Structure formats: C-alpha cells, structure tokens
Amino acid sequence: MEKSTCNDGELSEFLGSGIYRFKNSNAVFIDPVRLLNRSHTRFRVSPSAYYSRFFESKSKHTGSQELEVSSDSKKRKRKQKKPHKLNERERVAEQRHQKVKPVLLKAHDALLGATDLLSAMKKLRSSFQSSTTEPGVGQSFVELGRVWQAPMYEITLNYQQSCVIDQCSEQRVLPLFNSLVANETNDDVEAEVLNRKFILPRGGCFYMSELGQIHNLIPAESDCGFNLIVIDPPWENGSAHQKSMYPTLPNRYFLSLPIKQLTHTDGALVALWITNREKLHNFVEKELFPIWGVKYVATFYWLKVKADGSLISALDLFHHRPYECLLLGYCSREVSNLENQSAPRPVKDNQIVISIPGDYSRKPPVGGILSVTISTSNQKFLFLFFFSTFFIILYYILTHANIPKHFRLIIYNSLSETCHSWLVFMVWYFFSHLNLISFK
C-alpha cells in the first residue's frame, strides 16, 4: 500500500465537485451525489436515498468480534469443500481477471493511501440533510404502459414564467408513452403524472415505449445522430433472477439494436456496461460489437468499495468480483470507414472509477468521463436503459437535475415488473453546465 497522504487541495476540490483525483494514478474516486448536485440549486440528491445499500465496516459494531468468533467456530464444524475445478471458459475468465488485477490493486492502494479521503468517505451518507418526507409507493410506468389505457396517459410539464418558450402557455400536456417528452428550456421543469411530481432537467428529454419502437429514435439526417451512446442492458443473470431484483433478457435481443443508424455523421463512442461472465464477454466481442459495427478500443472498470475503503468483496472471489466493466468502442456511420476510423480523442485503456455503490444495479454517472473523448462542442448523448432497470433511466435524467428524495422513491417499485418487452429511451443533450471528469 502506498504511503498515507493528506492533500487538503484535493480534498477541498472533492468536497465541492465529488471528484478526487489520485496523483500519478489512472483512477479517480467519485461521490455520485456531489457530482450530480454540481451546478444545481433548485433540487438536491439525498445521500441517504442514493446510498440505500451503504456498506459499513463490521468491526465498528458492538460485539462484532464475538460474532466473528462464533461464526468461525461454526465454519470449522462444516466439511471442507473440495476446490472447484475450472472449466475452459472459467479458465479464460480467470486469465482475464489476473491480467487486470495489478491495475485494480494499484488503484485501490491509491485510495487506501489517501487518508483525508477515507475520513470523508465515512460521512458521505450524512453529508446533506433532506427535509423531504417519504410518501407511499406509486404505480410504476412499466405497469401503466402494459394496460390498454396506456395511450391515454399524459404527462404535464409546468414551466416557470421565466422559462416559457415561444410565448406558449406555462403548461404543456404530452402523451406519456410513445412520445418524445422534452425540456427545451435552460431551467429544470417540474412534471406531473397521476398526481406525482417529477423533475426534467434543462435540455433533457426521454422516450418511453416498447422495444420495437426504438427505430423511432433514428434521426432523419445523420448530422442529427448521437456522439455518445451508453447502454446498460439487463443481461442474463442468475443472481438477479434468483433474488427477483429485475427480469433479464436473452442476449440475442440486443443484436437488433440499430446502433449504426443512431450514430452521428462523425461517428460515436459506444459504452456498454457488462458483467464479468466470460460467456458474455465472448458474445460482445465476437457477435454483438461486429453486428453493431462497433470497433473495440478500451475497457474502463468500476471498482466498488465500502465506506471504510475496503473492497465490497474479495478481489479474487470468482463469482462476485468487486468490479464491473464498461466496454468502449467506436462506431462509424459509414461501413467503409470502420477499419480506418480513429478516435476523436485518445481513450486510455484500464481507467478505474472507484465509488461506494448505490442501489442494486445502479451504475455511477460516467457521462462526464466519456464526454471528454468527444471533440465536437455540439454533443448529443443517448442512454439506453431497459425497463428492468427502469429506475436507472429516470435516475440518470433526474438526479442530474438533483431530483428530490420523494421522486426516487416513486420509481423503485418498477423493479418487480416481469414484462420483457418494455424499453425506456432517454436522450440527453449536454450543455456548458455538464460536469466533466478527466483523468490526469
């Protein structure tokens, strides 16, 4: 482990921005709550709601040593299991893990060496106080979209007087489903659906529909395509299925996504969240990316830690690695340019983003990290999140505008849905207020 350090400058910057950059390292630590709250004043993210699975160190609890002793004595009575013999696919996965392990350990050592940051991490969940009360759970959008009355549901956008566009009224009513709902103002807009309030950030919009309707997002002109496409699919996952956390989809469903048609004329950076299963890596590398027309360029890693800085699980724990992968590739609009295309800006491989996890399957905000690879100033980002992680879609929209705690609670009930055909699309335009993260 690196020598302990105390850098008041970095800590001060972190407390203001939510980003802590380690010296001479390819890693950063982020606090998503602070990161999402930057440059916003009307609404705030509640840390206690975001860190709903906040990891505490067992050693801090009273009587923890006695419990550990008791647990150890019980373990000794059990029969020792024979070492599991890895099959061919598992051996390849282990080789992949061993290759990146030194990079992850170095990043973790950098975290453990930053004693000032470690002290601040313990207080992240209580950094801000929320005065919002906790309401009852509302009906999920996925559930509403499955009924025959779905075309009748509407969303009302309530504008402030200073934000009224084109001298329209201070209120706009739009279809909730199969319709592009957009906030074209430079201020947050409060929306209402079935007496529930929501927040749509400035310049943000979303499209909520069935999977087959994704072609409605394909722009008529490629110049109106997207520079960055981030995809978080509900991959086949036995753990998620057993825990009934969210339904998954067969991998073949994603082959038909029209990624190339959604790409900007100058190409797009495609970022795909993926689990550590070797079968899935093989599928993406040999089938999915080639069919999408995506050329692989780099892998980022999300390293998950507890509040005390320790990993959420042993690094070598085969089926529960404490990290996830974000595969990056470039997609050219023209097939003929795919082999010769080059990155607008170089993307360094093996970059590490460290954070304390939020709710189950909730990914950290990486739009700012990826945006620095886009050279054009007129950036258009597309985030594709399937309904099975429906709360993430709205979370990415709304917490960037500092969604209050009571709104997020309305979203969580959609996790129990079982319909496999719903997909939510969120289109996000990034303006000058975007919080950029760069590795130095």
Residue 286 has pLDDT above 90, yes or no: yes
pLDDT at 316: 93
Domain boundaries, the chain: 141-429
Which range among 63-72, 80-89, 281-290 has the greatest average pLDDT? 281-290
pLDDT at 384: 73
pLDDT at 248: 60
| CA-wise closest residue to 392 among 180, 184, 245 | 245
What average pLDDT does the segment 239-261 reach?
Answer: 70
- 162 or 156: whose pLDDT is higher? 156
Q: What is the DSSP string of 227-260?
A: SEEEEE-----HHHHHTTS-----GGGGGG--HH
What average pLDDT does the segment 186-205 reach?
Answer: 79
What average pLDDT does the segment 343-357 reach?
Answer: 84
- List pLDDT tens digits, range 222-239: 888 888 888 888 787 655
- Residue 322 CB neighbour total at 10 angstroms: 20
- 132 or 288: whose pLDDT is higher? 288
Least confident of 20-24, 199-203, 324-328: 199-203
Residue 431, CA distances (Å) to 38, 184, 336, 347 in order = 14, 12, 32, 22
CB of 232 closer than 8 Å to CB of 389 = yes
**137-159: b or e for each residue (b if 16 or more CB lie within 10 Å)?**
ebebbbbbbeeeebeeeebebeb
Spatial separation of the C-alpha atoms in residues 202 and 151, rounded to whole Å = 26
- List pLDDT tens digits, range 394-423: 333 333 333 333 333 222 222 223 233 344
pLDDT at 76: 56
pLDDT at 63: 40
- HSE-CB at 340 with a 13 A cutoff on CA atoms is 4
Which runs of consecutive H residues, i.e. helices, occur in 31-79? 32-37, 47-50, 64-77
Spatial separation of the C-alpha atoms in residues 85 and 87, rounded to whole Å = 7
CA angle 55, 351, 17 (to 5 degrees): 60
Average pLDDT along the chain: 72
- 301 or 74: whose pLDDT is higher? 301
What average pLDDT does the segment 93-119 reach?
Answer: 95
pLDDT at 108: 97
Q: How confident is the model at residue 168 (pLDDT cuts 50, 70, 90)?
A: low
Spatial separation of the C-alpha atoms in residues 373 and 439, rounded to whole Å = 11
Regarding pTM above 0.85, the answer is no
What average pLDDT does the segment 171-181 reach?
Answer: 87
Residue 10 has pLDDT above 60, yes or no: yes
DSSP state of 311: B
- 303 or 75: whose pLDDT is higher? 303
Helix (H) or strand (E) holding 92: helix 88-113
pLDDT at 298: 94
Positive/negative CA dihedral, 56, 58, 64, 67:
positive
- Fold of the domain spanning 141-429: Rossmann fold (3.40.50)
